[in-house]
Amino acid sequence: MDLVQKSIEYMDLEKISQAKMATLVGIGESTISRWLKGNYPNPETIDRKIEAFFEKENLRSAQIGTKDIGFTMTNISKNVWDVLEYVRLRRLVGTVYGDAGIGKTRTLKEWAKGKPDVIVVTASPAFSNPKPFCKLLARELKTIRVGGMDDIYLDILDKLQGADKTIVIDEAQHLNRRTLEQVRDINDSTETAIILIGNEIIYSKMVGKQQAEFAQLFSRIGIRNHLLTDMFTKDDVKMVFGDGTDDVVSFLHNICRSKYGLRGAINVFINAKNNEDVTQKGLKAMAKLMGILV
């Protein structure tokens, strides 16, 4: 099969456009278009880039990755799922917070599938202040992102009014007090369900030393769910990784209940699997190599 036909079949299989394929290969969209049509003046230069791309893809396909570990409704995932659905139906402000790497984001992504009323945004330090966050939210809502803060915010409220939407903010611990107050106001003004997902910081901000500043927001929270790595059970481990020997299950369970969480256990398992040794000895060796000590 020649490279052109191979590229066309790859784009059809992966359901990607010529523009996306061009980005992956590292060339311009017009270049790949001409190359596919057979009228690029120096096709051999593009051939080499296409060959390098497929070589990398072939090597990648021989390895397993995190997406090869399917979603599993663990005990923690069930807790997250129930809160997400409850807040969505009741139009509340809710929080899901706790240890990193326990599957909060993975559960959110699975729960949000097929729900056109759910808008998911991921906060970061760059969006901690009100205007950057509103621009981030406006992009997801497909409203205006230019102009003054008041114009952007009013357009967001207009878009949400009566729309019965749910906004989920992942990594919400990055939002500062003024931004969290604005989030509260969105719920007050439009009855939009708001779910804040993050680590312990998002909760401690509201009940710790700054309690007075966050009192109004805290009083609006209709449901709170605190999740810890020690909530993982051995049955959860078996559901995620399949039945294994008792020593393998126990070792992966120990990682899940440590500071590394389920994410750490998955990474150890995947690397050990790619190393073709998922015995307890192989898992321990891989964990040590990765600096995961339990």
H-run or E-run covering 270: helix 261-274
User: What is the structure's pLDDT at 239?
Assistant: 94
pLDDT at 211 exceeding the cut of 70:
no
User: What is the structure's pLDDT at 227?
Assistant: 86
Given a contact cutoff of 8 angstroms between Cβ atoms, the answer to whether 183 and 175 are in contact is yes
Token pair, residue 89, equals 């139906």
User: What is the structure's pLDDT at 221?
Assistant: 65
What rounded mean pLDDT belongs to the chain?
A: 90
Phi, psi of 64 (to 5 degrees): -95, 150
- Please give the sequence-ordered ranges of beta strands (E in DSSP) within 18-98, or none if there are none: 93-98
Confidence of residue 202 (pLDDT cuts 50, 70, 90): confident
| Cα–Cα dist 177/184, whole Å | 11
pLDDT at 218 exceeding the cut of 60:
no
Work out the average pLDDT over 166-182.
93
Question: Model's pTM, two decimal places?
Answer: 0.80
Token pair, residue 181, equals 């107050």
Given a contact cutoff of 8 angstroms between Cβ atoms, the answer to whether 100 and 263 are in contact is yes
Residue for token pair 């399949």: 242
The better pLDDT of the pair 95, 213 is held by 95
User: What is the structure's pLDDT at 265?
Assistant: 95
Q: pLDDT tens across 59-91, in order? A: 888 888 877 888 999 999 999 999 999 999 999
| Cα–Cα dist 255/271, whole Å | 14
Amino acid at the residue 68: D
pLDDT at 22 exceeding the cut of 70:
yes
pLDDT at 215 exceeding the cut of 80:
no
User: What is the structure's pLDDT at 208?
Assistant: 54
Q: pLDDT tens across 126-173, in order? A: 999 999 999 999 999 999 888 889 999 999 999 999 999 999 999 999
CB atoms within 10 A of CB 65: 11
